[in-house]
Amino acid sequence: MFNFDISQLLLWLPAVLIALTFHEYAHGLVADWLGDPTPRYQGRLTLNPLVHLDPLGFILLLLVHFGWAKPVQVNPLNFRGDRYRGMVLVGLAGAGMNLLVAFTATLIATLDNIPAGGSGYLPAIMEGIILINIYLAVFNLIPIPPLDGSQVLAGLLRNSEIVYTLQRYGYIILIVLIFTGIIGIVLGPVSGFIYNLFYIICQGIVHSFGL
């Protein structure tokens, strides 16, 4: 599970920084659009990665490809309109942004004929950006606190108490699921499907427009 290959860590470093930064920035941006000034007051509406990094989550994401950033704090009571709808939108924003970054990187790789899984620094960096962003999106949609999926679930069920109840055990449940490999059983196939789908779509776009 652990990967102490220094060269591999350095190649994946840009991917981790990009994935975590854009993920948290998206949370803050959507919350701000919905009327909650909390992320803006806390300086989270920025693409400066140092503002968003959690040291432990950053290291774990590099080593085991499971990790987290410093959570963006939001106050649903400040949202305009339905606060439960706002919780869903803010919760989905991070994963949505990661998938957008992954798709954009896939399209760039396809346009530049950078082979998927190819050897060399540039293919490895692009592969890292695509995979890490897909992994982070899928991982965060798991409905267990403190992951974003728990906020989405609470918003859909219109019941915040579910999140508060699960928060007591969220980290323990996640640790057990990660280190027993159960999360990998779900994360691997889903992420692989999205990865292949993005390449199929991007290849279709390139061929359709003759690029």
Residues annotated as catalytic (active site), given as ranges: 24
Residues 6+ apart with CB under 8 A from 152: 87, 88, 91, 92, 141, 143
DSSP string, 85-112: HHHHHHHHHHHHHHHHHHHHHHHHHHHT
Distance of alpha carbon 134 from alpha carbon 114, whole angstroms: 18
Query: What is the distance of C-alpha 8 from the center of its chain?
Result: 20
Q: Which residue from 81, 56, 73, 49 is spatially nearest to 151, judged by alpha carbons?
A: 73
Distance of alpha carbon 58 from alpha carbon 17, whole angstroms: 8
Q: Which residue has the tokens 């989905």?
A: 92
Positive or negative, the Cα torsion across 163, 164, 169, 170?
A: positive
Position 156: which residue type? L
Q: Which residue from 27, 29, 26, 20 is spatially nearest to 51, judged by alpha carbons?
A: 20
| Residue 71 per-residue DSSP state | P
